[in-house]
Structure 1
C-alpha cells in the first residue's frame, strides 16, 4: 500500500469519527435548548403580563391593582410548586379575573436576554425583593400595597383569601338599573318592589353586609361586567341591599326567607331574583364568576319566558 493511500485511509477514518462527535454535540445542544424552553414559564398567554410598564398601563386603565409574582422558573422549586398548587388552578383564575392585573417577573438562569434580565432585576430592586417566590400587590400608581415571600403550601382558597383582605375596596359603579335609564342601582328592597311592580320586571338583588370590602369588590366586578350590565338593564330591576338584621330599615333589607332560611356568612355575597321581595326564584353565590352568574340568569329568563308562553296558550 502506498503512503498516499495510507494517508487517505487515515484521513477517512478520522473524518468518520469526527462526524458523530459533531452530531452528538449538536444533539446535546438541542437537548439543553429544549430543556431550557421547557423550564421557561408556562404562563405566557394565560393572562399574565411580563412587562412591568405594560402592567402599570393596564392598571391605570382599569383601576385594578397589580398582582406580581417574582419567580425563577428553571431553578426555584418553591416557585414551581406555587404555580402548580395555586396559580394554575381554576380557583385562582376565577378569583383573579376582573380583580387584578397579573404580572410575572421571571428571572431564570437562562433563556432571556441580558437586557430583559436587567429590566426585571430593576423591578426586584425597586420593591426590595430578595427571595423567590415573592408576591406583591401593587397599586396602579406603582405604590406597594402589601407583599410576602415564600410559599407554605396553602390551598388556593387560603392563598387568595390572604390577598383579598388587602384589595382596595372598589367603589360602587353608578350603573343604570333596569327600571329606567335615569335610575341608579337601588339600595332599598321596598323601593325595588314598587319599581318592579310598575315595570313588571323581576328584581335582581345583590345582597352583602355593609362595610364588607371583599363583598364590595365582588359586587363592583359583577356590575362592571358588560354581559351582566346588558342583561340587568334589559330584564331586571337591580338593587343592592343588606341582610335584614343589618339594614338601617328592616323593610329595606333581605330577609332570611329570601336567603333560603340561612344567615349571610361573613364576606358573603349573594345574587337573588324575586318578584315580590319575599320568595326567591333564583339564587347564586356571588363567589362565582360573572360569566357563570350571567349564564344562570339567562337560563332563569328562558324558563320564565317559556312558562309565560305556555300560560298564554
Structure 2
C-alpha cells in the first residue's frame, strides 16, 4: 500500500514539475518559425519588471494551462524591461506591443504571424485578459478566440 502511494505521489509530482517548466520563446523570429511549422498560433505575453504576477501565478503555472498551451499555441514572452536583449530587439518588441494596441501590462494576445521578404505580418486574433475566475475560465475565453463558432 505504501509503495503504491509513493508511486502515485512521484507520478503526480513529476506532472506538476513539468507543468511549471513551460517553454517560452523570447525571440520573435524563432517563435514565428515554430508557429508556422506546427500550424499553431502565437500566444504573445507582454510583460515587464514590476507588473502583476497574477497571470503567471494563477494561469501560467497550472497543469491545465501547461496541457492546453502544449496542444494549442506557441508561447512567446516579450519582456519589455529585459536588459539582456539588443536595442534593436527591444525596439521591435515595443513596436509589436504598439501594433497590438497593448497599453496595460501584463497582456496576452493571440495571433498568427508570418515573415515574407524580411517583413513580419501579424493577424491578430484577439486579447485574453486576466480572468479572476481561474485557469479554466481563462482557457474557455482563449478557445473562443481561437475557434470562433
TM-score (norm 1): 0.36
Q: 1:55 aligns with which of 17, 31, 40?
A: 31
Structure 2 equivalent of residue 101 of structure 1: 74
Match status 1:157 vs 2:136: yes
Give unpaired runs (5+ residues) of structure 1. 1-44, 170-212, 214-313
Structure 2 equivalent of residue 182 of structure 1: none
Structure 1: distance between partners of 2:85 and 2:103: 20
CA deviation string 1:152-180 (max 9, x = no partner): 423011111100112147xxxxxxxxxxx
Structure 2 equivalent of residue 75 of structure 1: 50
TM-score (norm 2): 0.71
The size of the alignment, in residue pairs, is 122
Greater RCO (Cα-Cα under 8 Å, separation 6 or more): 2
Give unpaired runs (5+ residues) of structure 2. 1-20, 115-121
- SS of the aligned residue for 2:57 comes to helix
CA deviation string 1:10-32 (max 9, x = no partner): xxxxxxxxxxxxxxxxxxxxxxx
Over aligned residue pairs, what C-alpha RMSD do you find?
A: 2.1
How big is the shift at 1:146? 0.9
Match status 1:146 vs 2:113: no
- SS of the aligned residue for 2:72 comes to coil
Flag the structure with higher strand content: 2
CA deviation string 1:70-102 (max 9, x = no partner): 111x2112xx12101110111100111121111
Which protein has the larger Cα radius of gyration, Structure 1 or Structure 2? 1
